[in-house]
Structure 1
Amino acid sequence: MDLVTYGTESIVDIANYQLAAEKSIRLYFSKDNPEFTNIFTGYRISEVNAMLSDMMNETDIRSVLVLMAHMEATFRVDYKVRSQKKYSDPISIEFRKIWKRKKQRARLEEILNVWGNINPESKKIIGQLKSIFSFRHWLAHGRYWNIGNEYDFQTVYILTDAVLSNFSFYD
């Protein structure tokens, strides 16, 4: 089985982008920025620090969304491949049952449930994924209701790496 990859963007590429974005933002809000005085004249240092914090948080969230999109694509491509090939493993068999009814319209939760039901050792990771996908739903749909768990880039990166390292995906 081949690990699923998409284009040239890996989770390491996403992490490198996140790191570069963080460094750029920190430089922009630092006195090392040649335009610092022009940009922030009239602001108190506490206001500048608050803007820096807000921008860092927003950048973190955007990178979380990219990781989640990558992970969803991994599961969905694997679902499609397993549904259309004649693999005899239990996950492929269950995916073909769903495919007969729903084709590509299967919900991500259905796909994750198959993994959790067939591989009990993956239930904990699947539970964490469902929680993170709920967080993604909250982000993508306006952030206007109270959310239980919020996740940062590092937490989602670690989980994404665990999924990609421990699940056997087809591409």
Structure 2
Amino acid sequence: MQMPELVSLVDIADYHADADASLRSYFSKTSPTYTARFAVYLPSEVTAELSGRIDETDLRSTLVLLARVEAALRKDYIARAQGKSSDDISIEFRKIYRQRGRRARLEEDILETWKSALQNPEREIMSQLKGMLKFRHWLAHGRYWNVGSNYKFQDAYIVADAVITNILPAY
């Protein structure tokens, strides 16, 4: 079965930038709908609403970005598990695949296998990603508890790019 092509990180970043720019334009006094939309608002209320929308856009883009990284890791896992490569990661993934098949646990199986095979600074990148995945879990499941760390899109992008361009293709 052929795996679908994944959306690139650059496409996600471009969409994020477009959404941010669109919000700023919509909330601008030069927007054709500004007067009708914000007629009863104080200037500080317009600024606060824009800030909230930008923050929400950042969270949503971060969620999509981290989901994309998970997809890349799982795609790599399946390719290695079903392949014949003799590197340590592929061998370990085949062991996991025999037990769990496509239902390998992202953090416990896939990330821990990577972390055990990598040296610093790549191991540190995977540790950062693990923390970001907890944040993604919080985003995806309703945000109803206190989250330990709040990651911005730009921070997540740096880690995602490092994983996809520096770690996954290297093996």
Question: What is the TM-score of this pair, normalised by structure 2?
Answer: 0.93
The Cα of 1:126 is off from its aligned counterpart by: 1.1
Query: Segments of 4+ in structure 1 off by > 2 A?
Result: 5-9
Q: 1:34 corresponds to which residue?
A: 32
Deviation per CA, 1:109-161, whole angstroms, max 9, x where unpaired?
11000000011332211110110000000111111111111001100111111
**Equivalent-residue separation in structure 1 for 2:94 and 2:67 (angstroms):** 23
In 1, distance between residues paired with 2:139 and 2:69?
Answer: 16
Quick check: 2:89–2:114 contact (8 Å CA) kept in 1?
A: yes
CA deviation after TM superposition for structure 1 residue 105, in Å: 0.8
1:113 matches 2:112 = yes
Contact kept? 1:82, 1:96, Cα under 8 Å: yes
1:100: Cα distance to partner? Answer: 0.5
The verdict on how the C-alpha distance between 1:26 and 1:6 changes in structure 2, with shifts beyond 3 A counting, is farther
Counterparts of residues 72-91 of structure 1 (less than 5 Å) = 72-91=70-89
- Aligned partner of 1:152 in structure 2 is 152
Q: Which amino acid aligns with 2:19?
A: A
- Where does residue 165 of structure 1 map in the other structure? 165
Q: Which runs of 5+ in 1 are unaligned?
A: none
**Counterpart for residue 54 of structure 2:** 56
Equivalent pairs counted in the alignment come to: 166
**Aligned residue type for 1:97:** K
Matched AA of 1:113: E
Higher relative contact order (CA 8 A, sep 6+): 1
The alignment's TM-score, normalised by the length of structure 1, stands at 0.93
Paired with 1:130 and 1:8, the residues of 2 have a C-alpha distance of 21
